[in-house]
Amino acid sequence: MANLTFERFFSDHQERLKELHAASGAPTWNVPLEDFARAVWAGISAPDQVETGSVPSLLKKIRIEELALALACAQGNERAWETFSFGYRNVVYEAACAFASDVTMARELTDSLTAELYGLETPDGHRRSKLEYYHGRSSLKTWLRAVVYQKFVDEYREMTRLVPLPEEMPAPAEGRAISDKDEQKYASLLSEAVSATLRELPADEKLILSYYYIQQLTLKQIGRITGEHEGTVSRHMDGLRKKLRKRIEDYLRKIKKLSAYEMERCLSFESRGALFRLDKELKSG
C-alpha cells in the first residue's frame, strides 16, 4: 500500500467508495464523490496507517458520516455548519473548560477555535477551515478535543512567551471504547427520545421543522411563508433546536433512567445520527 497513489486507489475501490459516499450522507451536503474519496484517502494513507491493514479493513474504520459533515462544513455548506454547531459546539466548550483556568478564557478559546473551524479568509481571498484536516480516523469528538488541546497549548505559549507548561495539565480525553452492540443500543434509545419529543411539539413548530428538514427550504424562504424576517426565523429555529435537545436529554435521563456516561454516549456521534434525521420522524408524524 505504501506505493499506492490516490488515482490507483480511486480506480481500484471506486464502487466501494461510491457506497461509502452514499451511506455517509455526503450527497445530502452536496459533497462530491472525488472530494470525499480524497479525504478518505488522506485518512487511510497516513504514515501510521499504511502498515496496519489492507485497504478494505482500513475503510471500515473511517467515520464516514462525521467525515462527510466535516467536509461539507469546510466547503461552506451552511446547513452542515448548523448541524455541526448544534452537535459539537458544546464539545469544544467543555474541552476548553477542562484546559483553561477560568470560564472567560474557555469562552475566548471556544470562540477563537470556532472561527477557525468555520473558516478564515486567506490572503488570496479563499476561505480555509480547520475541519479540512479531519479525515475520519477517530471520532470527530475525539479529534475536536485534541484540536482544543493544541490550540490551548499554542495560546498558552504565546501568552507566557514560551514559559514551560504546567506539569499537571490534563491531556485530551479519548473516551471509553464503545462496541457495535452498545452503539445500536444508544442509537435506538436516541431515536426513541427524538420520536417522543417530536410527538409533543405543537403543530406550528412541527410545521417549521418540516419546512426546514423535509422541504429543505432556506430560512429566507420560510420567512416568506410565515411573514417573518429571516433573522426571526433563524432565532426561532435556534430556540427549537435547544428545546428539542433539552427535552431529548430530559427523556433519556428521567424516562430511560440513563446515567451521565450513558447520556454522553447517546448524544455523541456514535449514535447521534437519529438526532439529525428528523425528516423521517416528521413525515411519520
Is the model's pLDDT at 166 over the cut of 70? no
Q: Is 228 helix (H, G, I), strand (E, B) or coil?
A: coil
The mean predicted confidence, pLDDT, of the chain is: 79
In angstroms, the CA 237 to CA 222 distance is 11
CATH number listed for the domain at residues 76-160? 1.10.1740
pLDDT of res. 285 = 56
- Cell 493544541, located at residue: 150
User: Which run of H or E residues covers position 120?
Assistant: strand 120-121
Burial (CB count within 10 angstroms: exposed 0-12, middle 13-18, buried 19+), residue 204: exposed
Q: What is the pLDDT of residues 172-213, one digit of tens each?
A: 544 444 455 666 787 788 878 888 888 888 888 888 888 876
Q: Which residues contact 29 (CB under 8 A, 6 or more apart)?
A: 68, 69, 71, 72, 75, 77, 79, 80
Percent of the chain exceeding pLDDT 90 equals 24
* Residue whose C-alpha is closest to residue 11's, from 49, 41, 47: 41
Is the model's pLDDT at 276 over the cut of 60? no
Is the model's pLDDT at 64 over the cut of 90? yes
The packing angle between helices 140-160 and 103-118, to 10°, is 120
- This prediction's pTM: 0.58
β-partners of residue 120 are: 128
* Residue whose C-alpha is closest to residue 71's, from 43, 32, 111, 45: 32
Percent of the chain exceeding pLDDT 70 equals 76
The identity of residue 207, as a single letter, is L
Q: Which residues contact 214 (CB under 8 A, 6 or more apart)?
A: 279, 282, 283
pLDDT of res. 68 = 96
Query: What are the boundaries of each domain within the chain?
Result: 6-73, 76-160, 180-284
